[in-house]
Amino acid sequence: MPGPIDPAIVAEVERLRKALHHHNYRYYVLDDPEISDAEYDRMMQELKQLEENYPQLASPDSPTTRVGAPPLSRFDTVSHSLPMLSLDNAFNDDDILEFDRRVKRQLNREEEIVYTAEPKMDGVAVELVYENGRLVTASTRGDGVTGEVITANVRTIGAVPLMMQTEGPAGIPDRLEVRGEVFIGIEAFKELNRRRIRNELPPFANPRNAAAGSLRQLDSRITARRPLDVYFYGVGIITDVVFESHWQLLQALKNWGFPINPLIRPQVTIGEVLEFYRQLSRRRGQLPYDIDGMVVKVDSLAFQQQLGSTTRSPRWAIAYKFAAIQETTVLENIEVQVGRTGVLTPVAHLRPIRVGGAMVSRATLHNEDEIEKKDIRIGDTVLVQRAGDVIPEVVKVITSMRSGTERKFYMPKTCPACGTGVVRFEDEAGVYCINADCPAQLKERIKHFASKGAFDIDGLGDKLVDQLVDRGMLKSYADLFKLDKVGLAAMERMGDKSADNLVHAIEGSRTITFSRFLYALGIRHVGEHVARLLAKHFESLPELMSCEKEELEDIPGIGSTIADSVIHFFNREENRRTIERIFDSGVRIVYEAAGDQGNFFGKTFVLTGTLKTMTRRQAKEALENAGARVSSAVSRNTDFVVAGDAPGSKLEKARQLGVTVIDEAGLQELLSS
């Protein structure tokens, strides 16, 4: 037993903690530090040393605990006590004026409404719960109703108070659910990417992805090394304290130690709101972080309550989004890529440039005609546009910037991957490599086959597919199911563990819905939507494979081109053989067509434990396709509980309530019945 600690040491530890909390607040919330960074670091070191010497003095609220905790195996989920809604969007001044009129109409008022206008941070929404002033839980927004618990990660963010400040006039509520946006500043983002490139890791596409990826680390010690920051903008449930306005609430949050964006425009008229938007749009490029618009909120909390919310978004707030942004940069080269259908696509390599918050270094040029039409030459200065998540595009050439050294581009006459002569079909702008064995096409077909909307094989990255094809281990997508751990572990950058995970992911993808299966095949003109139409119409694959063109054309939404393509695909001996091989390796299709409403219409299922032959998402999808509802909690209304490995408390609950319990084999049976 260690002896009692010298009271002077206890007092010193207390003093250092208090001082560090205070300086944190000066730095992150008031943006007005009283001491230098070096001084702060020195105090932190001192405290660390004392806590190391006297481990009995450890406290979960100590500023030294921001370094991260041991890794988790997965994230728990938590229900938000009030749903985290999203916002309606406005795209022009008229939309905002219409919003103002709607608010007045619903409140039955003629007078000007008071608003608060805030920059819309482009980061990741989080909710933090404080009990008696202590941070107890932090979670992501998730689907708005339930999020993932990321407390250990959020605790590593310097700007997050581990304890609320008590100095404010409002006292400390028993419970506070505070909401905000976690983000990474632009400079910190650039530095982070430089570090990643040095360490041969793929750089993040933009600060938002970097922030999201950092928050979803199972190992919070990694999160601790990411330069995360946060601004708070609202609350869920808050006890004990009553505010009159949103602005008052923000002030209280600030006093409690939560950073609030200093650019927020409090208590303004709708005219001033529009003025603020113009200011923000102008300043947007100079801000140290990304914003994607402005949020306008009715300031009076009584009015907010009166206006209420739809299931999707509050009626008292709206997001005024910025327009797509355009930037100019130099087109350094044009590369020709071969797609899975053999189409050759010219892709522009651009001098990297930030466009609307993302680094852009490539843009599609579609085809030769498009290049001709826009007269795009290698070396040109071009205007690039990125709208939302869409692939960046070259809008036009800035011809006044030409020096005369620009070179015209011609599509190659042979496939850049296999050297086969290319063909151009009548009425089509694209040219094609028609070599069925072209390795570039094969690679793309396999990537498509494994992609999210298809077999959804986690861990099969593009580089790995390239390697597997180059080394002759994959000659068609059917070969994926033959891959084994030893072969995979021999690939570059593959450890035993990732090889093992991938083998499991492939194993787990073997049960698949009919529509995903059809989409995965990569039939020309059969995207996710058409695949669903086909899966709904045909009761089985053999039925589809032996149908006539007329039957296909009778399906609403399917015309002659698609029908031809489908018939052509299934007529090819080679494709039939590949499909046979896929089934031989244990793939099973879950059919969706059976009956109009599905076999399980009105039935409620709960999944618990680990499934072996499919992921939970796939099981959920298969059940929903068959008309069932999949719920997360067992109740008297549950019809079936599906118990996988290590099922836990839901199984117990099901037994108590007398709900039918089936295992994975039982589920398979039900699904294929």
The residue ranges that bind ligand IVH (CB under 6 A) are 85-87, 118, 120-121, 125, 141, 181, 233-234, 295, 314, 317, 319
Give kind and range of the element (H or E) at residue 652.
helix 649-657
- Cβ of residue 161: shortest distance to ligand IVH, in angstroms? 19
With respect to ligand IVH, which residue has the nearer C-beta, 120 or 443?
120
Rounded CA-CA distance 63/224 in Å is: 13
Rounded CA-CA distance 104/98 in Å is: 10
Rounded CA-CA distance 575/522 in Å is: 11
- Cβ of residue 69: shortest distance to ligand IVH, in angstroms? 25
- Cβ of residue 293: shortest distance to ligand IVH, in angstroms? 8
With respect to ligand IVH, which residue has the nearer C-beta, 29 or 87?
87
Residue 613 near residue 664, CB atoms below 8 Å: yes
Rounded CA-CA distance 347/393 in Å is: 10
Rounded CA-CA distance 253/235 in Å is: 9
- Cβ of residue 313: shortest distance to ligand IVH, in angstroms? 7
Rounded CA-CA distance 378/396 in Å is: 13
Alpha-helix runs per DSSP H in 225-296 = 246-255, 270-283
Alpha-carbon distances, residue 357 vs 204, 207, 327, 347, 383 (angstroms): 12, 7, 11, 21, 16
Residue type, 87: L
What lies within 8 Å, CB to CB, of 3 at 6+ separation is: none
Rounded CA-CA distance 588/668 in Å is: 10
**DSSP string of 605-649?**
EEEESB-SSS-HHHHHHHHHHTT-EEESS--TT--EEEE-BS-TH
With respect to ligand IVH, which residue has the nearer C-beta, 278 or 463?
278
With respect to ligand IVH, which residue has the nearer C-beta, 118 or 592?
118
153 has which bridge partners?
A: none
Helix axis angle, 7-28 relative to 37-53, nearest 10°?
150
- Cβ of residue 154: shortest distance to ligand IVH, in angstroms? 15
What is the SS3 assignment for 545? helix
Catalytic choice (18, 48, 120, 374)? 120
297 given a catalytic annotation: no
With respect to ligand IVH, which residue has the nearer C-beta, 125 or 215?
125
- Cβ of residue 190: shortest distance to ligand IVH, in angstroms? 22
With respect to ligand IVH, which residue has the nearer C-beta, 153 or 515?
153
- Cβ of residue 160: shortest distance to ligand IVH, in angstroms? 16
Alpha-carbon distances, residue 475 vs 342, 376, 446, 481, 505 (angstroms): 16, 37, 9, 12, 20
- Cβ of residue 594: shortest distance to ligand IVH, in angstroms? 39
- Cβ of residue 162: shortest distance to ligand IVH, in angstroms? 22
Rounded CA-CA distance 615/52 in Å is: 44
What is the SS3 assignment for 500? helix
Count of residues in the chain: 673
With respect to ligand IVH, which residue has the nearer C-beta, 233 or 514?
233
What is the SS3 assignment for 654? helix
Position closest to ligand IVH via CB: 125
With respect to ligand IVH, which residue has the nearer C-beta, 320 or 600?
320
Alpha-helix runs per DSSP H in 538-614 = 541-545, 549-553, 560-571, 573-584
Alpha-carbon distances, residue 541 vs 163, 176, 286, 298, 514 (angstroms): 60, 55, 56, 55, 8
With respect to ligand IVH, which residue has the nearer C-beta, 272 or 554?
272
Residues known to be catalytic: 120
